[in-house]
Amino acid sequence: MDLNYSEEENAFRAEVRAFMETSVPSDLAAKVRGGKRLSKADHESWHAILSRQGWLAPAWPVEYGGTDWDPVQRYIFEEEYVRAGAPRIVPFAVTMLAPVLIKFGTEEQKQRYLPRILDGSDWWCQGYSEPGSGSDLASLRTRAVRDGDEYIVTGQKTWTTLGHHANMIFCLVRTKQDGKPQEGISFLLIDMATPGIEVRPIITIDGEHEVNEVFFDDVRVPVANRVGEENKGWTYAKYLLGHERTGIAGIAFATQALSNLKSVARRQMKGGRPLIEDPLFASRIAMTEIELDALRTTSMRAIVAARDGNSPGIEASMLKVKGTLIRQEISNLARKALGPMAMPYVTEALDPGSNVEAVGPEGANAVSSQYFNLRKMSIYGGSNEIQRNLIAKSLGL
Phi, psi of 339, deg, nearest 5: 55, -135
Contact call for residue 269 and other proteins (CB under 8 A):
no
Q: Closest approach of Cβ 332 to other proteins, in Å?
A: 17
Is residue 141 within 8 Å of 130, Cβ to Cβ? yes
Q: Which residue lies nearer to other proteins by CB, 298 or 354?
A: 298
Q: Which of 78, 130, 210, 244 is catalytic?
A: 244
Residue 285 C-beta-side C-alpha neighbours within 13 Å: 23
In the residue annotation, 78 being an active-site residue is answered as: no
Q: Which of 239, 289, 354, 361 binds other proteins (CB under 8 A)?
A: 289
In the region spanning residues 57 to 86, those forming contacts with other proteins, defined by CB under 8 A, are 72
To other proteins, the closest distance from the beta carbon of 292 in angstroms equals: 10
| 285 near other proteins (CB under 8 A) | yes
**Which own/partner contact pairs does 293-302 have at CB distance under 8 Å and 24+ positions apart?**
295/249, 295/251, 295/254, 295/319, 295/322, 295/323, 295/326, 296/251, 296/255, 297/3, 298/249, 298/322, 299/75, 299/246, 299/249, 299/251, 299/323, 300/3, 300/72, 300/75, 302/245, 302/246
Binding mask 377-396 for other proteins (x = CB under 8 A): --------x-xxx-xx--xx
For the CB of residue 396, give the shortest distance to other proteins in the complex, in Å: 7
Count of residues interacting with other proteins (CB under 8 A): 42
Half-sphere exposure of 96 (CA within 13 A, CB side): 22
95 within 8 A of 47, measured Cβ to Cβ: no
Find the shortest distance in angstroms from Cβ 18 to other proteins.
22
Q: Using CB under 8 A as the criterion, which residues of the chain lie in contact with other proteins when the complex forms?
A: 1-6, 9, 72, 276-277, 279, 282-283, 285-287, 289-291, 293-298, 300-301, 304, 315, 317-318, 321-322, 385, 387-389, 391-392, 395-397
State the catalytic residues: 244
